[in-house]
Structure 1
């Protein structure tokens, strides 16, 4: 129901109007350019984009065509629902319209949205009935038994090592930069600056506060926090010193190609293997989602292949 509510909200601006130029026909039923244009804006918004942000004509055309294909699929599913005699009760439709009204922001906002989209309440109610019917038939067509246990166990055994959590540490650091090729005096001067900073911290100064004030790394604004990372992620000298610390310890100055570091180990998480029960359930859910996604692709491909589709839009 939540997914359906989201889809209804995204598809509100797709009015039934077929006046004007036609973008496509599905078994003779028209999808107007008006309908495509209104849906295209919502299609992009769902992807976090806006029409004005697409400057590449080729990318614009590809996205617009993808939106048209989505509308064609919607029409195919509605027509399939009609063929199968899918009936959505008036009570179910009224309930869904009310859910949409409340989700959009109440009666006044809802009425304004309908008007902007070219709907009145009666046409939107019928539109909702169509969408519910299309979703019902799609769910029925993509039903499956889920992955069999033998496949789940085989996948788990193959990928078990990848599913465990590696040893990770969380560190903060303070960096005094040293340019590549700097002379020995410059290198030593940077080390002494860092030693001076190090001496301040045991006197009660907080490492994060000192890092914010004195570090020359981009992480200074986060108090030097580098987050959690496993072995193999950082520069070798930095990593060796960091993993040698105990939580709460601060390293001596550590030299790397970018300069001198003080490293504070905040947390240390040991490696852990996933239990068989956890791993099998994770795999079961993952494979079920993959299976469902493939079923959806297959169903839509079959519907396209056995119905008459004319794509007229060539913008």
Structure 2
């Protein structure tokens, strides 16, 4: 969990006395989730996604995100209530160890205390939040384990069928990692403009040949968007780049720099950093990969089913949606 949202998140489960006069967003088996808790969580929910309320211009998008935030709060309350039903107990030592880890991660006791005070809470409330959070996590893990156990291991017939269907996708084509420097040439440029651009690139190539670093030169001289990354284009297979560029790049040995290469956008110098040869996945490797993939899918489905079953078997009243 990101440290900057810890204090707001613990406000989600503080005792209801803090929020008793607040309008209600939802009730879970009679336990209220206040509008204040929802508003606090919604802001952090968006921030965790790199968004802000002011940036959401579509009313339907705003409502969808707010609904998702309320869903998360309801799920947290359901898990806490399930932990109570199951008698899940988190020891004081475990709770205090977790609190201490958070205190140190925030910068020590003084910073931690100031953050609590600024948020309007005390350490006792935070300890209670931590206990509930750990209990909810534990019961969620138990429910997932039970659900996965019911689902069983991936069926071998299903594993083989999936492997045969996707075997070609599991093989890796030949790929190269390359950087380039581009001097642009406008469409329809006359011969002198084309020649001038090539001369500029040849001068750059000479500078690199005399010891200048390719990536540093790319940052200052390249006219491509990749200049900020030192001209790095990452790994790519055949068929991804322009034909002239691709032919020259794949013909290079690692560490080599091409002669000037002309494409529709201008002149390029290409530096080949690395080459990864094509490889086929063996049947044994492929089947193992499919088993692991399908097992992960079952885990994802188990988590979704656990929450869906909790929602369907408990009394939930959503007032914020009305």
TM-score bucket (shorter structure):
0.7 to 0.9
Q: Distance in 2 between matches of 1:171 and 1:313?
A: 53
1:195-214 map, 5 Å = 195=202, 197-198=204-205, 201-204=208-211, 206-214=213-221
CA distance in 2, matches of 1:7, 1:147: 37
Count of residues in correspondence between the two structures: 313
Find 2:303's aligned residue among 275, 296, 310: 296
**Counterpart in 1 of 2:175?**
168
Contact kept, 8 Å, 1:12 with 1:117, in 2: the verdict is no
* Contact residue 8 and residue 131 of structure 1 kept, 8 A: no
1:80 aligns with 2:82: yes
**Counterpart-to-counterpart distance in 2, 1:26 and 1:160:** 47
Instruction: Measure how far apart 1:62 and its partner are.
Output: 2.1
Residues 111/178 of structure 1: CA separation in 2 closer, same or farther (3 Å cut): same
Aligned match for 1:12, one of 10, 13, 23: 10
Give, in angstroms, the shift of residue 105 of structure 1: 2.9
Structure 2: 5+ residue runs without aligned partners? none
Task: Report if the CA contact (8 A) 1:25-1:311 is conserved.
Answer: yes
Q: Is residue 67 of structure 2 the alignment partner of residue 65 of structure 1?
A: yes
- 1:208 deviates by 4.2
CA distance in 1, matches of 2:211, 2:2: 56
Q: For 1:54-133, what aligned pairs fall within 5 Å after superposition? A: 54-133=56-135
C-alpha change, 1:245 and 1:107, in structure 2 (3 Å) is same
In the alignment, does 2:262 pair up with 1:264? no
1:40 corresponding residue in structure 2: 42
Q: Distance in 2 between matches of 1:243 and 1:47?
A: 39
Output aligned runs, 1:169-184, within 5 Å: 169-184=176-191
Inter-partner Cα distance in structure 1 for 2:201 and 2:123: 70
Listed one character per residue, the Cα deviations across residues 10-40 of structure 1 (whole Å, up to 9, x for unaligned) are 6223233332211111111111112112222
Question: Do 2:10 and 2:130's aligned partners in 1 also have CA atoms closer than 8 Å?
Answer: no
Name the structure 1 match of 2:140: 138
Closer, same or farther in 2 for the Cα pair 1:41/1:306, shift >3 Å? same
- Distance change in 2, residues 1:268/1:52 (3 Å): same
Change over 3 Å in CA distance of 1:181–1:77 after alignment to 2:
same
Distance 2:214 2:94 in 1: 59
Does 2:154 match 1:148? yes
Shift, 1:281, TM fit: 4.8
CA distance in 2, matches of 1:101, 1:133: 20
SS in 2 for 1:62: helix
Structure 2 residue 262 is the aligned partner of structure 1 residue 255? yes
Q: CA RMSD in A?
A: 3.1
Cα 1:66–1:116 shift into 2, 3 Å: farther
How far has the Cα of 1:173 moved from its partner? 2.6
In structure 1, what is the equivalent of residue 23 of structure 2?
Answer: 21
Secondary structure in structure 1 of the residue aligned to 2:245: helix
Q: Taking structure 1 as the reference length, what is the TM-score of the superposition?
A: 0.84
Distance change in 2, residues 1:83/1:4 (3 Å) = farther
CA contact (8 A) 1:10 1:46 kept: no
